[in-house]
């Protein structure tokens, strides 16, 4: 985040977040989480990697946070998603 903000020195952090949310529909942090979850969906469909490893590969700090965000965004746990897409 700070790197992106540094590249946009002409706007305040608040303005950047507001403009980003207006354009994308989510704040930057939520956008990043959704991108991570989208990648996790691919890995769950296309690999046999354990959920813990997928969480690591997608940049989540731990499997619990991954499962919480995945369920909130997708509406299923990673295990449910994998079973439904086999």
Whether the Cβ atoms of residue 40 and residue 66 lie closer than 8 Å to each other: yes
In terms of C-beta distances under 8 Å and separation of at least 24 residues, what long-range contacts does 24-27 make, across chains too?
Answer: none
Q: What are the residue ranges spanned by the domains of the chain?
A: 2-84
The reported pTM is: 0.83
What's 25's DSSP letter?
S
* Tokens 């977040």 belong to residue: 17
Q: Return the CATH class of domain 2-84.
A: mainly alpha
pLDDT at 33: 96
CB atoms within 10 A of CB 70: 28
Q: Counting every residue, how long is the chain? A: 86
- Tens digit of pLDDT at every position of the chain (86 positions): 677 666 666 778 888 889 889 999 999 999 999 999 999 999 999 999 999 999 999 999 999 999 999 999 999 999 999 999 98
């Amino acid at each position: 985040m700070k790197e992106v903000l540094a590249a946009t020195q002409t706007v305040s952090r608040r303005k950047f977040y507001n403009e980003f949310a207006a354009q994308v529909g989510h704040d930057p942090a939520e956008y990043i989480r959704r991108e991570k979850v989208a990648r996790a969906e691919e890995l769950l469909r296309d690999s046999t990697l354990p959920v813990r490893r997928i969480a690591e590969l997608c940049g989540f700090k731990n499997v619990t946070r991954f499962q919480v965000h995945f369920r909130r965004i997708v509406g299923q746990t990673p295990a449910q998603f994998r079973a439904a897409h086999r």
